[in-house]
Structure 1
Amino acid sequence: MTDELGIPDAVAEAMREELPAVAEQTVGAIVVEVPSYADAFSGEMGRTIENAVQLALGGFLELASAGGGDASTPIQPALDGAYALGRGEARSGRSMDALLGAYRVGARVSWRHMAASGVRAGLSAEQLARFAELVFAYIDQLSAASVAGHTDELATSGRVRERHLERLANQLLGGGPREDLVAATERADWPAPRTLTAVILPEARVRGALASLDRRTLRSTDDVPGLTSSGELVVLLVPDAEGRSRPALMRSLGEREAVVGPARPWDEVHSSYARALRALQLGLTADGPEPLDTEARLADLVLCADETALADLRAQALAPLADLGAGAREKLTETLRAWLLHHGRREAVAAELYVHPQTVRYRMGQLRELYGGRLEDPRTVLELTIALGAAGTGRRAGTTSPSHGRHSGR
């Protein structure tokens, strides 16, 4: 027996014989006093816990009655079991509150029954007091081992899940078979929403944006296809921001420089990203510090789908004006554009150009001479509308990022 505690072997043996009953009563008390374990400790799991309690207390008695041991220090198998129990709690989604409560209840019940056994077996008052001290020190070390296991499991699972979420974001941006995307959501433990909206914004703005966005929002890693300024721009995939929720998304982004794609079914969000990326590459910007909403710039995006084709169309449509002087060509081009956009309403054209209606009439006469009957041809009118509508946006293609300069928006 130890010098510090000195439990006689006969007393230890008498206490050991009662361990099955003590373990059963301990588990019963935990189920009553820690309700979250009522189901977990039932059936086969309850019997497993009873065995674990017996082993832990048996290990303590072994230390308390063997020479050279410190009864306040759990033997390694008991420590390993407590550590594994903490990890299991984390995997089950429970906090340490319930487990630590179970330890407290277990220590109290175990001590009460073991002390009674010790008294019946002849343990002195001094030995009993020392025994109580060491029992609770023993339980404290088991609790600490469980806390360590719980913390390690959360850290490990958190890192693993974060990697899975990053891979899922990049996989969604790249597109792919739906079954592969579903499998990726399951690996990441990420509940798929109805829709996702792609948002491109500077890395420096991400933290502030995430604070006000849906907690399911996914974030890309550095190797996003299409983004050349790696590390400077990030793609966020925002769940269920369609319809009436879209204005809320724009407000959440506030004055952060961002490009917002359309909402798409979650497994088709690569098309939302493609739209936002196209707007970024074209240098489209909002008229102020607010985010660029690609849904408000669809005409620009359509007109700029093929820059060279648009340039050829414009040159072809305006060919009748090519031989005019620069000043005359500019005036007639402005007049023709306003005439098309206002459907020939002379007063509206004059108001836009700040000229007299008679001036509009004169210029339109010149245009009819140059174009002949083609101004009545629907196909010609369509081509001129596209060519001059694109010219009227006042923007030119270019590549920029939300954080590096602005191109004129209109």
Structure 2
Amino acid sequence: MERIIEEIREDLTRRIAVAADRLADRTLAEDPAYAALLGRTELRERIHHALRQGVEGLVRTSRGLPVDLADARATGTLRAEQGLPLTSLLRAYRRGGRLLWQTLTEAVASYDRAALPRLLPGAPVLWDVLDQMTDAVSESYRRTEAARADRDRERRAALLDALLDGAAATDGPTASEAAARLGLPERGRFAVVVVAAPDDPSRPAERPGATGAPRVLWRVRADGETGLVVLGHHPLESVRDLLAPLAVRAGVSPVVEAPDQLAGAHRLAALALRTAPASGGPRTALLDEGLPAALVAAQAELAGRLRRVVLGPVLALPPEDRRLLLTTLGTWLDCRGSTTSAAQRLYCHRNTVSNRMRRLEQLTGRSLADPRHVVELTLAHAAVVQGAAAQSPTPPCPPTPAGTVRRSPRPRG
């Protein structure tokens, strides 16, 4: 094989130059990615060099030497850094391989048609060389692309940190600069969602991404995930639907209008998360829907004091009595002070609820007819719920009086 190639070396060199011209023209005409990246002169030189490398690989293999793949690896790295699709790169290599074999056979036939059978044993050798070159290009490309993706993720994470955490380093981007690099508008409607770390760390991370939903830029950390939500025309409540597929607890900030307000929104979203129950099923807490509970969560020391001062006598009861009164109070508050609605939710007679609420008034010294006392009870109950290690299930009510029809509970809103 080496001998016949040396015999046709001069003609083969001329034909390879012509083949490089043809392949460069075809590539630029049929592949927009190459046409947008390289000029004809540069592309033609790279193709010419790769074709000559294929011939030299064939010669080296016939001598028992390894193929020199340094140039193929360098090409894979360069094209990955330039952003050329791998499919375009591999297509050019495959076309080059076929064109090289065609050029080689034409050169041998022109030299001595009777020598063509001498070329046939070199066919599998040449394809093996071309496979090695293609594999080297692919491996180098993918390795470079993975490294570039890691760098992009790190840069993106740093930009999100600048927006969500604020207090950027003196040499770091400002909020407006970070927003611009992330493709965010200078003014708009934004929110921040903080998702608690899953109970099962091995659970694969999920990403809601329904068509037509708001865009979310996620920042994943060890203690949970934070999402920057670009609401656009979507209402804030749409974030709850966005998070519905995730079996997690989440807190959502109010809407803000500028990137430099996102750090404050992040703090409020984390506060909203603290108002979501730790058990009882997934729940997304919007800050503005639970401001009293958020106020309690923001002041841990005062929350403890509030529990003791307002509900201390209730907390001192035996566990079952304590649980019964606190559950009834919470249900009554959820029903906006409606004894009838609370009874329906608790599967008991309204008189049962009234009796429990009167007992609670006696124990706490607070009157449900006094709005100021209702505020105190609301905040104290929120403090108890947040301070509990786990939410207790709603206990059944005592049997209703004889002759009383037990009502079906209303569906929860």
TM-score by length of 1: 0.64
- Supply the AA of the counterpart residue of 2:144: E
Query: SS of the counterpart of 1:235?
Result: strand
1:49 is aligned to 2:43: yes
- Shift of the alpha carbon at 1:56? 2.7
Question: For 1:87-142, what per-residue CA distance to the aligned partner results, in whole angstroms no more than 9, with x for missing partners?
Answer: 34433545433222222222222332332233223361123324544433332222
| Inter-partner Cα distance in structure 1 for 2:198 and 2:255 | 22
Match of 1:204 among 192, 200, 203: 200
Q: Which amino acid aligns with 2:354?
A: Y
Whether contact under 8 Å (2:279, 2:391) holds in the other structure is no
Distance 2:50 2:303 in 1: 80
CA-CA distance at 1:25 after TM superposition: 1.0
Give me the whole-angstrom Cα distance separating, in 2, the residues matched to 1:111 and 1:243.
Answer: 63
Structure 2 residue matching 1:395: 3-state secondary structure: helix
Alignment counterpart, residue 165 of structure 2, candidates 164, 174, 181:
174
Matched residue type, 1:291: R
2:271 alignment partner AA = R
Partner of 1:395: 384
Matches of 1:64 and 1:391, distance apart in 2: 83
Alignment of 1:18 with 2:15, yes or no, is yes
In the alignment, structure 1 residue 111 sits paired with structure 2 residue 101: yes
Question: Which whole-Å deviations, capped at 9, do the CAs of 1:42-99 have from their partners, x for residues lacking one?
Answer: xx5322121122223334445667xx763797853xx333223323443354543322
Give the Å deviation of 1:146: 0.6
- Compared CA separation, residues 122 and 110, structure 1 to 2 (3 A): same
Distance 1:288 1:240, change over 3 A: farther
Equivalent positions of 1:117-156 (< 5 A) are 117-122=107-112, 124-156=115-147
Once the two structures are TM-superposed, the CA of residue 181 in structure 1 deviates from its matched residue by 4.2
2:155 maps to: 164
Q: For 1:325-373, what per-residue CA distance to the aligned partner results, in whole angstroms no more than 9, with x for missing partners?
A: xxxxx9xxx9xx99xx879xxxxxx979637xxx9xxx9xx999xxxxx
Q: Aligned equivalents of 2:175 and 2:202: distance in 1?
A: 24
Q: Which residue of 2 aligns with 1:289?
A: 281
Native 8 Å contact 2:253 2:272 kept in 1: no
CA 1:263–1:240 in structure 2 vs 1: closer, same or farther (change >3 Å)?
A: farther
The question of 1:252 aligning with 2:245 is answered yes
Counterpart amino acid of residue 406 in structure 1? A
Q: Residue 236 of structure 1 aligns with which residue? A: 226
Rg (Cα) greater in structure: 1
Determine if the alignment matches structure 1 residue 39 to structure 2 residue 43.
no
1:155, distance to aligned residue in structure 2 (A): 2.2
The alpha-carbon distance between structure 1 residues 395 and 388, as it changes in their structure 2 partners (threshold 3 A), is same
Q: Write the distance in 2 (CA, Å) between the matches of 1:271 and 1:140.
A: 56
- Residue 20 of structure 1 and its aligned partner are, at CA, apart by 2.1
User: What's the Cα RMSD here?
Assistant: 4.7
Distance 1:131 1:311 in 2: 85
Residues 351, 292 of structure 1: alpha-carbon distance in 2 compared, 3 angstrom cutoff: farther
Seen in structure 2, the aligned counterparts of structure 1 residues 199 and 179 have a Cα distance that, compared at 3 Å, is: same
1:149 positional shift: 1.1
Query: In percent, how many aligned pairs have the same letter?
Result: 17
Other-structure match for 1:6? 3
Q: CA separation of 1:8/1:302 partners in 2, compared to 1, >3 Å: closer, same or farther?
A: closer
Letter in 1 for 2:26: A
Instruction: Give the direction of change, closer, same or farther, for the CA distance of 1:312–1:152 in structure 2 (3 Å limit).
Output: closer
Decide whether the 8 Å contact of 1:209 with 1:252 is kept in 2: no
Does the CA contact (< 8 Å) of 2:251 and 2:276 recur in 1? Answer: no
Question: What CA distance in whole angstroms lies between the structure 2 residues aligned with 1:195 and 1:277?
Answer: 12
Query: What do the CA deviations read for 1:128-171 (whole angstroms, capped 9, x no partner)?
Result: 32454443333222211111111211221233233334444544
Closer/same/farther in 2, CA of residues 109 and 28 from structure 1, 3 Å limit: farther
Deviation at 1:260, TM superposition (A): 1.5
Verify the 8 A CA contact 1:71 1:134 in the aligned structure 2: no
For 1:29, give the aligned amino acid.
R
Residues 244, 206 of structure 1: alpha-carbon distance in 2 compared, 3 angstrom cutoff: farther
**Aligned amino acid, residue 146 of structure 2:** A
Can you list the C-alpha shifts for 1:306-330, whole angstroms capped at 9, x where unaligned?
A: 466689899999xxxxxxxxxxxx9
RCO higher in structure (CA 8 A, sep ≥6): 1
Contact 2:191 2:229 in 1 (8 A): yes
Partner of 2:405: none
Contact preservation (8 Å) 1:198, 1:273: yes
TM-score by length of 2: 0.63
3-state SS of paired residue (1:196): strand
User: Which sits farther off after the overlay, 244-253 or 283-292?
Assistant: 283-292
Q: CA deviation at 1:298?
A: 1.5
Q: Which residue of 2 aligns with 1:302?
A: 295
1:198–1:263: 8 Å Cα contact kept in structure 2?
no
Partner of residue 275, structure 1? 268
Secondary structure of 2:49 counterpart: helix
Distance 2:107 2:351 in 1: 104
| 1:58 has 2:55 as partner | no
What is the deviation of 1:280? Answer: 5.4
Conserved? CA contact 1:260–1:294, under 8 Å: yes
